[in-house]
A and B are shown apart, each in its own frame.
Chain A
C-alpha cells in the first residue's frame, strides 16, 4: 500500500467555523507533512511531524493547528480562517525525516473559506 489518503476531498467553511482535515498512511512512514498550494503556485511547506513530534512549523498562523495522534494519522484543525486561506491542502509522508527520502503525497483537500 503506497497510498496517502486525505479526507474530505472538498470543504467549504465560514470564517467562524471549526473544521478538521484528516490524512492517513499505512506505509510505516515516520515523517508526515502538511503543505498549502494556491493556484498557479508551488506547494508551500506548513508543518513537519517526525516520529509523531512537531519538528518544523513554517511560521504558520495559529488558526491552523496540526495534530499527530499516531504514526499513521495527521490532522489539521482549522478555526477562524480567512478567505485568503482558501487553497489546496496537501498531506505527504516519507519513510524517514532525513535527506534522500522521497515524499508521497495525498490527493489534497480543496478548501474554500467564505
Chain B
C-alpha cells in the first residue's frame, strides 16, 4: 500500500515559469518530509525538507509547502530552468523511525527552453 503518492507522472513547464509538483500522503504519523531530485544514471539528490511544525520552507528558487490537514505537500520551483529537468521524488518519515523514508513514485519534470 503506497503511503506517499505523486499522482502526476510528468509535468512540462516553460523556462522562467513556475513549476508546481504535488505529493499526497496517507499516514498521519508522518512528520518530516523531503524532496529529492534524480537525473538519469545518478542516484537521488536531496533538495529540500520540511518538518511538520512548519507549513513552508524556502531555499533559493525552491519552496516546499505543507498542508497537514489535507495531508498534502507541494514543491514550487520559480523561475524554472532547463537544468531543473529531472525526476522529483517526495519522501516522508515518522518520528520514531526517523531515517526510514517512504518515497512517492516520482514526477518527471521537463522545463522547455
Contacts and interface: CB of A to CB of B under 8 A. Distances in A.
Contact of B4 (A42, A45, A103): A42
Interface in A35-49: 40-45, 48
A90 interface: yes
Interface residues of B, number: 28
Given A40-B105, A42-B89, A100 B98 contact: yes
B95 A99 contact: yes
Contacts of A99: 31-32, 93, 95, 98-99
Contacts of B4: 42
A26 to B, nearest CB: 16
Contacts, number: 63
A100 B32 contact: yes
B43 A108 contact: yes
A4 B100 CA distance: 18
Interface string A14-38: 0000000000000000010100000
Interface string A88-102: 001010101111111
Interface residues of A, number: 28
A104 B43 CA distance: 8
23 contacts: A42-B2, A42-B4, A42-B102, A42-B103, A42-B105, A43-B44, A43-B103, A44-B103, A45-B100, A56-B100, A96-B99, A97-B98, A97-B99, A98-B98, A99-B32, A99-B93, A100-B51, A103-B101, A104-B43, A105-B36, A106-B43, A107-B41, A107-B42
